Amino acid sequence: MTLAPWKNFLQITMKRILQQRRLSLYNGAHGYEEELIKKKLQQFSGGSINLSKEDNGIAILTLNNPKLMNAFTGTMMLELQERVTELENWKDGKGLIIHGAGNTFCSGSDLNVVKQISNSQDGMNMCMFMQNTLTRLMRLPLFSVALVQGKAFGGGAELTTACDFRLMTPGSEIRFVHKHMGLVPGWGGGARLVRIVGSGAALQLLGGAARVDPERALSLGLSEHTLPSSDETSALGEARAWLSQYTDGPATVIRAVKKVVTAGRELPLEAALRTEKDIFGTVWGGPANLQALVRRPKHK
């Protein structure tokens, strides 16, 4: 009898671990050594990744290392993974806004850390660690927005591409500076950029380490909208208001929409169609569907 709560706890924990593995890209079979890189990243501390979940189903994720323009230290990479796990377990979530403290987005990896892990083994493990985390972020069943204020450089630019939408404030800039660092994107930002802007534009942005201001981002389809305010607090309010056009309504339906789109984007057609059928089954005859049938709204 007394073992039951433990059994339950173990079952839930196992389920979560299996879910994380399923949503991740790399495991031991790919030569990925997660525990090793976690231990390494733990040595480079500073800054934090803060998550606040609101009753309205919107969460705010803050990259908080303003002294270094919110560059990612080792512990921030680890914290990002923890926050993504928290969001995966948040069943009421409908939307997420990612922004940086101090009115700037993120200047990529902390170059002090990059120098310390510049050997091949650490580099590959860090790359797989961040791709796993950002892939899980991209697959969250909620609508995610990168609110780009100030600069989104290097890994910061890559992080914006793991969100469903990008909103920019006047004077802000997205820049894949990797070429100037003798690198290419490694956090999955190259592959995602091609899917967002197409291969020609991606070649221009990566090959020229080009500055992308809000106007150019809009014309490339890299950004959805330029917010009117560059002030930190006002811009966050405007981003919330913009996001609410997609997050107003029941969480079950909003999460189902995102799941259908994720399947359509990532799976071959037949598998995507079958997944869509399964997701359809979760909303058909559900409370929101039945209420709408009673209301019989006219969609004018």
Question: Minimum distance from CB of 126 to ligand LP2KCY5N (Å)?
Answer: 7
Beta bridge partners of 109: 72
Q: DSSP label at 141?
A: S
For the chain, give percent helix, strand, coil, nearest 5.
55, 15, 30
Question: Minimum distance from CB of 73 to ligand LP2KCY5N (Å)?
Answer: 9
- Residue 102 tokens, joined: 């101090």
Question: Minimum distance from CB of 191 to ligand LP2KCY5N (Å)?
Answer: 13
**SS3 of 185, please?**
coil
Residue 61-100 contact track with ligand LP2KCY5N, rule CB under 6 A, x = bound = -------xx-x-----------------------------
Position 107 contacts ligand LP2KCY5N (CB under 6 A):
yes
The Cα-based distances of 165 to 57, 137, 145, 223, 242 in angstroms read 17, 13, 5, 7, 11
**SS3 of 173, please?**
strand
Beta bridge partners of 64: 48
162 or 260, CB closer to ligand LP2KCY5N? 162
**Helix and strand totals (H; E) in the chain:** 13, 9
Beta bridge partners of 49: 63
Candidates 1-9, 28-36, 38-46, 153-161; binding stretch for ligand LP2KCY5N (CB under 6 A): 153-161
Residue 295 and residue 298: Cα distance in Å, rounded? 9
Position 154 contacts ligand LP2KCY5N (CB under 6 A):
yes
Q: Nearest to ligand LP2KCY5N by Cβ — which residue?
A: 108
93 or 186, CB closer to ligand LP2KCY5N? 186
103 or 244, CB closer to ligand LP2KCY5N? 103
Residue 67 and residue 213: Cα distance in Å, rounded? 23
Position 177 contacts ligand LP2KCY5N (CB under 6 A):
yes
- Residues making contact with ligand LP2KCY5N (CB under 6 A): 68-69, 71, 107-112, 114, 151, 153-155, 158, 177-178, 181, 183, 185-187
